[in-house]
Structure 1
């Protein structure tokens, strides 16, 4: 029986949103290029591309020496690695729900939104994702790569990128230049290095469940929420981040935690650490505070502090409130 691994229907869906098909010169600057590599291990395998509008014009090189125009299906009869090159005019949205080896968004002048997710199948005729690259996508604002287990992520010349979600990954380090980025989720992976200096507008950071030991936030004064729980931090400073409202730094190895000048801080979770002292005297808006399972002895508070006005969970024995003079 012929085996179908449908990349862009049951096993996968590629969604193109386009505006015209009146020019088939796909080498001019209005065309987007997407290069996809995948392995066929159990032929025959049929690739089906499904577009969302009848007006979309695409040119496809299927990687086995054949090419087509406005043809959305191709069957591979020989096992091996294939590289598909798709060119589409005015491609604004690109969604993929299938397994691949690598994907390269190259010179996509109109691409605004991208979403790549696993298909949820156990079909082993396709490889798992490894390498993702975005290059020269001047209008791209959103990249969603959650659950992709990406090992290598490159983003070049995407000046309007605001949201990046690469959670559940295999990245060892993340060092990107995304000056407009406001939301980053790189949680749940083996990250040992995270460079945030090129994200001056970052407001939301989730780097939980990694292997991080150090993090530098001094260039990220727009931050409003940070989740850096379940890492290997021994000390961390949020000093001067006066827009920060929510911090979760629980389940680390913290012996020092600096939240000076965090005047808007409302929620702080630092449970399961090694803190013996904590200065909260600048955090007069702090309502929810959890520091259970710390050997904490002294908590410095502000003049007029009353424990009945807040929801603070502290160790039952040993912790003492002191007013900072």
Structure 2
């Protein structure tokens, strides 16, 4: 099938191992979903592959990627993964690994320029090593994990952060950050941790004065954190941030 550019395998039972190493010399997109018995997947020799979708395979615990120099998008949610290496995908821009409930280890290529990582509903206790490879990161969704500390001070372009429902006691963002959404509620952030976070946030130009029909607003939520009642909300008011209760 040398001319095939897209490959879709969906809703198949009885297949425990899938080897695509000889099927995709010219394939640009792969869609593998709802294979009830799939445990192991190998994808290699797909040098033109740009998009990978692997989802809703509850028994899938092993994925091996060959060299895919052009792959920019990976959607790999609702599987049974506990670890995953993406070192052979240097062109990745968008990664969605959400709802792999056992996933606690992820390896990235250090040369990637990743824009978005979605890992909500996994089992990460730390993502420090992941963030070291993500200086260009703009969106991070890591809610419903087991994180106790999150340091995004090296991610100067971050504009969307969802880290609610963890165990965070420290949350650090780049100085002067303007995040359109910063949801950090339902953590363990005390008064000092929240005030430090507020001090780090950037000043928002008053939209009522300068932009009467402004489309861009900057919102933060921190309810159900231990310091929510005693923190200094005036810092946010003075910076024109909108406080939401989630």
Q: In which range does the TM-score fall when normalised by the shorter chain? A: 0.7 to 0.9
**Residue 302 of structure 1: CA displacement?**
3.4
**Residue 113 of structure 1: CA displacement?**
0.6
Higher-strand-fraction structure: 1
Q: Residues 193 and 128 of structure 1: is their aligned pair in 2 closer, same or farther, counting only changes over 3 Å?
A: same
Q: Could you tell me which residue of structure 2 aligns to residue 72 of structure 1? A: none
Q: Could you tell me which residue of structure 1 aligns to residue 27 of structure 2? A: 140
Q: Residues 304 and 179 of structure 1: is their aligned pair in 2 closer, same or farther, counting only changes over 3 Å?
A: closer
Write out aligned runs for 1:1-325 (5 A): 108-118=1-11, 127-136=13-22, 137-149=24-36, 150-169=38-57, 170-177=59-66, 178-210=68-100, 211-217=102-108, 219=110, 221-237=112-128, 238-239=131-132, 241-282=134-175, 284-297=177-190, 298=193, 299-300=196-197, 301-302=199-200, 304-305=202-203, 310-315=218-223, 316-319=228-231
Check whether the contact 2:124–2:147 (CA below 8 A) recurs between aligned residues: yes
The answer for unaligned runs of 5 or more in structure 1 is 1-107, 120-126
TM-score between both structures, scaled by the size of structure 2: 0.75
The number of residue pairs the alignment matches comes to 209
Root-mean-square deviation over aligned CA pairs: 2.6
Q: Residues 304 and 189 of structure 1: is their aligned pair in 2 closer, same or farther, counting only changes over 3 Å?
A: closer
Q: Residues 145 and 318 of structure 1: is their aligned pair in 2 closer, same or farther, counting only changes over 3 Å?
A: farther
**Residue 320 of structure 1: CA displacement?**
5.6
2-side partners of 1:320 and 1:133: how far apart? 56
2-side partners of 1:153 and 1:304: how far apart? 45
Check whether the contact 1:172–1:190 (CA below 8 A) recurs between aligned residues: yes
Q: Residues 319 and 221 of structure 1: is their aligned pair in 2 closer, same or farther, counting only changes over 3 Å?
A: farther
TM-score between both structures, scaled by the size of structure 1: 0.58
**Residue 319 of structure 1: CA displacement?**
4.8
2-side partners of 1:159 and 1:225: how far apart? 23
1-side partners of 2:202 and 2:3: how far apart? 56
CA offsets per residue over residues 141-188 of structure 1, 9 Å max, x none?
111012223222112211111111111112212231223211111111
- Partner of 2:103, secondary structure, is coil
The answer for unaligned runs of 5 or more in structure 2 is 207-216, 236-246
Check whether the contact 1:232–1:252 (CA below 8 A) recurs between aligned residues: yes
Check whether the contact 1:246–1:268 (CA below 8 A) recurs between aligned residues: yes
Check whether the contact 1:172–1:191 (CA below 8 A) recurs between aligned residues: yes
2-side partners of 1:214 and 1:162: how far apart? 23
Q: Which structure's CA Rg is the greater one? A: 1
Higher-helix-fraction structure: 2
